């Protein structure tokens, strides 16, 4: 029970099917480490978003007459997810901590805790489906979350239920309204889970010192501005650059960690934004046989791109001769065969015409 509308309705659907349902809330982040002041009044305006979620989860469970348990994974989250997140940023990459949270916390340590409580199954509010042991996209493609499940192993999916996987979001909210749940109109959480609705840059400088440097136009090699620290930018980003001097859109296209340079290009069709292959490691493959041809998604809500896979032990070369914009080291590359999710890995290196791009 996350305190959101999706897990709330998942619990309702399970009750309707005759399951004996219990709720388990995860606390993954220390609210005091997230800028809280000890002794401040606990209102929705000044408590950690996670605590607001817990209060909402309690109210939903009270309404549905199910017990709610709470488990702290603060240390584990720090060790397995947040440390990874910081290390990747230091390397100039763009990590996805929610993917690692699913792998190490939600579908591992959380499951073990549920089993201690006597659970036969765990259920979550993910928009995804499991059929015959295979992972499929949620029916609501706009909300599909298989991208974030790409590092969860086949064994971890055993005895897992996704009750809302066949539903669209509007129908989920409708059920919550019919039951008068506090979460019915609750806004979907966005961004990185442990930050909530906070300013990312302000949050991050608590852990990684800003090192301002030059912004360079990769075409002209001219210095056109200053950046506030390379870890605050990702490939393909165009908002929040705060650089004047051009009426055309500017995009982040690369980083030089040694020289502390942020490279930008002008125009969304700039050739520097395009790659035609990438190397992917940390593979978690869910398919029965290794495919040569399939589709790949290079970021959440990105399009499914036809690709050719060349397997080499623990890595795979993903080729897309038609070219794709802003493929980003550190992000997940997730494989699909139509609706079926075949798993995926982490983008290690981005290439064009067989050569690693020097600015990435």
- Phi and psi angles of residue 285, each rounded to the nearest 5 degrees, phi first: -100, 125
Instruction: Write down the pLDDT at residue 192.
Output: 66
Instruction: Write down the pLDDT at residue 258.
Output: 96
- The pTM assigned to this predicted structure is 0.92
Q: Which one of 48, 61, 150, 193 is the catalytic residue?
A: 193
Buried b (16+ CB within 10 A) or exposed e, 128-149: bbbeeebbbbbbbeebbbbbbb
Instruction: Write down the pLDDT at residue 193.
Output: 64
Instruction: Write down the pLDDT at residue 38.
Output: 39
Instruction: Write down the pLDDT at residue 195.
Output: 60
Q: What are the structural domains of the chain?
A: 5-178 (3.40.50.620), 209-266 (2.30.30.280), 274-356 (2.40.30.10)
Instruction: Write down the pLDDT at residue 128.
Output: 98
Relative to beta strand 293-297, strand 332-337 is antiparallel
Contact status, residue 308 vs residue 293, Cβ threshold 8 Å: yes
Residue 131: name the closest of 284, 295, 339 by CA: 339
Residue 92: name the closest of 332, 349, 354 by CA: 349
Low-confidence residues of the chain, pLDDT below 70?
31-48, 190-198, 245
**101 has catalytic annotation:** yes
Instruction: Write down the pLDDT at residue 37.
Output: 39
Instruction: Write down the pLDDT at residue 359.
Output: 95
Q: Which one of 101, 265, 294, 333 is the catalytic residue?
A: 101
**265 has catalytic annotation:** no
What region, left, alpha or beta, does residue 313 occupy, with left being phi > 0 and alpha being psi -120 to 50 degrees?
left
């Amino acid at each position: 029970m996350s305190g959101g509308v999706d897990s709330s309705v998942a619990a309702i659907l399970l009750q309707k099917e005759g399951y004996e349902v219990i709720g388990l809330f995860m606390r993954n982040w220390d609210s005091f480490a997230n800028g809280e002041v000890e002794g401040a009044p606990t209102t929705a305006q000044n408590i950690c978003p996670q605590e607001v979620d817990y209060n909402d989860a309690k109210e939903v469970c009270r309404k549905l007459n199910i017990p709610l348990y709470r488990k702290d994974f603060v240390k584990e989250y720090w060790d397995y997810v947040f440390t990874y997140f910081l290390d990747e940023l230091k390397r100039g990459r763009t990590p996805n901590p929610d993917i690692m949270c699913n792998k190490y916390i939600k579908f591992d340590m959380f499951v073990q805790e549920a089993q201690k409580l006597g659970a036969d199954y765990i259920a979550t509010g993910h928009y995804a489906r499991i059929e015959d042991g295979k992972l499929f996209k949620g029916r609501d493609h706009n909300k599909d979350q298989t991208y974030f499940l790409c590092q969860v192993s086949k064994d971890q999916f055993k005895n897992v239920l996704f009750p809302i996987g066949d539903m669209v979001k509007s129908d989920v909210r409708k059920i919550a309204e019919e039951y008068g749940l506090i979460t019915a109109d609750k806004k979907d959480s966005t961004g990185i889970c442990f930050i909530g609705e906070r300013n990312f840059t302000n949050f991050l400088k608590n852990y990684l010192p800003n090192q301002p440097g030059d912004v360079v136009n990769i075409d002209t090699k001219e210095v056109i501005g200053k950046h506030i620290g390379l870890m605050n930018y990702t490939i393909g980003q165009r908002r929040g650059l705060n650089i004047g001097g051009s009426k055309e859109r500017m995009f982040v296209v690369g980083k030089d960690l040694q020289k502390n340079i942020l490279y930008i290009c002008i125009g969304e069709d700039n050739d520097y934004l395009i790659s035609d292959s990438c190397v992917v490691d940390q593979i978690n493959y869910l398919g029965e046989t290794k495919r040569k041809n399939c589709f790949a998604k290079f970021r959440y809500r990105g399009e499914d791109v036809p690709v050719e896979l060349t397997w080499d032990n623990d890595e795979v070369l993903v080729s897309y001769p038609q070219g794709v914009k802003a493929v980003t080291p550190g992000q997940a590359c997730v494989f699909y065969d139509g609706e079926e999710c075949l798993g995926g890995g982490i983008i290690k290196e981005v290439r064009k015409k067989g050569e690693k791009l020097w600015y990435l």
